Chains A and B, each alone.
Chain A
């Protein structure tokens, strides 16, 4: 009874003073995630005060021809302050992007960037900065994380930095797709691996006005596959589409959007016209480069034959760290719930949850009985995000060194946003502990660490899927589970007519709907020669032949950048060798000539552009500003955000008392006293 009274009283208080509520909320709430950048009035006086610093706008121009995407990304730095500043911006790019051009645009002047060894480039930049000349330096921080520094931007001035990169589009189950990341999920780095310090300073949320999104991006894309498309879709953005024959023009329906979620574009050819094989080639310098795509026939059968007594063991590992807070954990719960419903009574399963530590729902995998599934479903419903991301402990639980010695197919499904900084240590453990297991990664959230997802799945000889919103969970998880339940196409072999150097070096197992993609560097011309492919499926052997032909009219762009793609794959493979323990100096010596020849940014090469004449008078000093990334959409507050911990109650009380005293004075004093 007493409790009911209290509740009623609280409810009445809630309604009693709407004005008081608004005032209270202006003072009271904990730091808000920046998921609605237009709702922003509060953020004008955000936690770090108003900074009239460097503002940034971006524009992406995507041109897809065949399997190659040419992307021009311009970043405009505007200096709204009264002093000369240096702008610094950390930005993500797709994992396999090869940055191969840099242009610095100041008013009407255009300065082309040059590729240099990393230290040399840095020196040139520092000198230019000290001498007052405008300069830009683009460096690779991590495989998918780049930084751009622009020196000597004058008061009120605008400097545009134009980057160009080449990327291979993804192709799976007849669907082509491309992802343009726009913000960075803060990485959790365990205390033992202090590697990500450089990242933190870019993570502050910045104040915004409610008129324009801060850090807006405009995106335009053109898709030319040389064939009609059945659908073009961008799941996380509204787009407008225009078609001219086989060219499809895409732009954002609302113009500029805030850079708080990845842009994904996918398109599907008309059924029946899906390409099954393609061979692109390009001559660069003394070598011929080729990109080979082959989609094997769907000859695969199910992993577990219905009549055989074998079963699968599925271990789900779910990340419940702080960075998964907000909508990410909901998506993870939903994905896991879907996965549980797909289990059959013959399967065995377990769920491992990890944040600052890891624990399993069951001590070891159990039968997917109704009772166990009900317990699991309850466990999943109660999962909540908080704490660190100690992924290693979870890996050790999921991939024990001593694995049961039976014929059971063992599949580990890792559901995470990959917000870790000790990736290298994790890959090493995956390779060491994998055994017969296969590791699959499910990337969650609006800005997952895609590089980690892909590499972890590669090390685990499995696959990765990305889930950016609740809307695509069904579809993506369905696809993953269909593939989990099917056998792979194995023992693939490619016979080239001339000596070649190919990447990937080891041809992976293929799942149905997944094409084989190989980048090659040939010693001799490939034109009009034949490449033969063969492999064994679940039921029968398979063989096919491909002839290298010249580009069709209008599709020449599909043949440019093939050499760059090879170089990017070669560098990535070399960097993987370093991860696995090869001497750093040897790797560097191998990477440098490739990166310099193909003019691409790598861990050992950077782009630098410098203006000829100094523009900053020597007597004005230079201040340094960083441009913060928006927090990924839907993510809850990170560690270390300051709470807002004061209300105006005292102010109200004081003002109230004063007014009361005044009221008394006015009431008691006779009217003549005021004449």
Chain B
């Protein structure tokens, strides 16, 4: 019986470790990125990083502040919301697509309402103001994301409280620039 209990304890530690690891990594990385961002020319937040911060998203109403990472390949998403390099650079004219994990950085998107304002800080120049215009749920099985115009698309997985990853649904928040 003791052996069974120890096995369960082992499993518990393993699973808790894995879960905490993901959450810890997400929170910790943002701290390091904040440091890298403060440099005059943002470089790698830690020596073996394969990504770098390119913008900062700020939600004045909720006290949220997130560093957006250059996307490309790899696991930038584990460390922060990542920009899809095929879309326009954040803050530039055109449509920028930023993806983030539903259970770490983009968890708060579940509560975001149309009309909320957010700020996008780029490395240079003044921040650009955006307003959330709408949000919707999309099914990836119906083909790729189609969107046009000027603005930000924040993409995360849906439903927010699903246990496992890899589901087909996405939650998309659309924000349009305020002049």
Contact = CB atoms under 8 A, between A and B. Distances in A.
Is chain B found bound to chain A in the same assembly? yes
Interface of A: 3, 6-7, 9-11, 13, 16-17, 19-20, 23-30, 32-33, 45, 47-49, 191, 201, 203-204, 322-323, 325, 355-357, 384-388, 636-660, 662-667, 669, 671, 674
A344 B161 CA distance: 63
Interface string B1-39: 110111011011111111111111100110110010000
B140 to A, nearest CB: 5
A316 B1 CA distance: 75
Contact of A640 (B11, B89, B147): B147
A203 B18 CA distance: 36
Contacts of B155: 642-643, 645
Contacts of A641: 84, 86, 144-145
B100 interface: yes
B86 A639 contact: yes
B93 interface: yes
Contact of B165 (A48, A646, A653): A646
Interface residues on chain B, size class? 35 or more
Contacts of B92: 356-357, 387
A640 B75 contact: no
B59 to A, nearest CB: 18
A637 B8 contact: no
Given A386-B88, A645-B101, A650-B103, A28 B19 contact: no
Contacts of B5: 662-667
Contact of A24 (B22, B76, B89): B22
Given A642-B140, A642-B144, A647 B163 contact: no
Interface string B118-160: 0000000000000000000010110111111000000111000
Interface of B: 1-2, 4-6, 8-9, 11-25, 28-29, 31-32, 35, 46-48, 70-78, 82-89, 92-95, 97, 99-104, 106, 138, 140-141, 143-148, 155-157, 161-168, 170
B72 to A, nearest CB: 6
B86 A322 contact: yes
A658 B19 CA distance: 13
B58 to A, nearest CB: 20
5 contacts: A3-B35, A10-B46, A17-B17, A28-B165, A667-B1
A512 B27 CA distance: 62
Contacts of A3: 32, 35
A651 B164 contact: yes
B143 to A, nearest CB: 7
B75 A645 contact: no
Contacts of A674: 1
A65 B93 CA distance: 52
B129 to A, nearest CB: 20
A13 B93 contact: no
**7 closest cross-chain pairs (CB), A and B:** A643-B99, A27-B165, A656-B15, A656-B16, A652-B19, A322-B86, A666-B5
Given A20-B22, A322-B87, A7 B46 contact: yes
Contacts of B14: 19, 656
Of A191, A357, A638, A656, chain B has the most CB atoms within 10 Å of the CB of A656
Of A45, A49, A637, chain B has the most CB atoms within 10 Å of the CB of A637
A656 B143 contact: no
B105 to A, nearest CB: 9
A355 B89 CA distance: 10
Contact of A639 (B87, B101, B156): B87
Contacts of A47: 140
A49 B143 CA distance: 10
Contact of A660 (B8, B71, B73, B87): B8
B75 to A, nearest CB: 5
Nearest to A32: B73
A24 B78 contact: yes
A561 B47 CA distance: 60
B72 A325 contact: yes
A624 to B, nearest CB: 14
Given A3-B35, A45-B166, A657 B12 contact: yes
Contact of B28 (A6, A32, A636, A638): A6
Contacts of B77: 28-30, 643-645
A639 B97 contact: yes
A47 B29 CA distance: 27
A325 B89 CA distance: 13
A13 B86 contact: no
Contact of B86 (A17, A32, A323, A645): A323
B84 A643 contact: yes
A671 B157 CA distance: 46
A646 B28 contact: no
B113 to A, nearest CB: 20
B140 A645 contact: no
A646 B103 contact: yes
Given A386-B85, A645-B77, 20 more contacts: A10-B25, A10-B46, A20-B17, A20-B22, A24-B22, A48-B140, A636-B72, A637-B86, A640-B97, A640-B145, A642-B99, A644-B165, A645-B99, A646-B103, A646-B164, A648-B19, A648-B164, A651-B164, A659-B8, A663-B8
Contacts of A48: 140-141, 143
A30 B73 contact: yes
Contacts of B28: 6, 9-10, 13
Contacts of A659: 8-9, 11-12, 15
Nearest to A10: B28
Contacts of A7: 32, 46-47
Nearest to B7: A663
A646 B72 contact: no
A628 to B, nearest CB: 11
B161 to A, nearest CB: 8
Contacts of A639: 84, 86-87, 95, 97
A325 B16 contact: no
Contact of A656 (B1, B6, B13): B13
Nearest to B155: A643
B22 A649 contact: yes
A195 to B, nearest CB: 15
Given A636-B85, A645-B102, A674-B1, A388 B18 contact: no
Contacts of B157: 644-646
A356 B88 contact: yes
Contacts of A17: 17-18, 21
A647 B1 contact: no
A651 B167 CA distance: 14
A613 to B, nearest CB: 36
A674 B4 CA distance: 12
Given A45-B166, A644-B166, A653 B87 contact: no
Nearest to A641: B144
A386 B76 CA distance: 17
A645 B19 contact: no
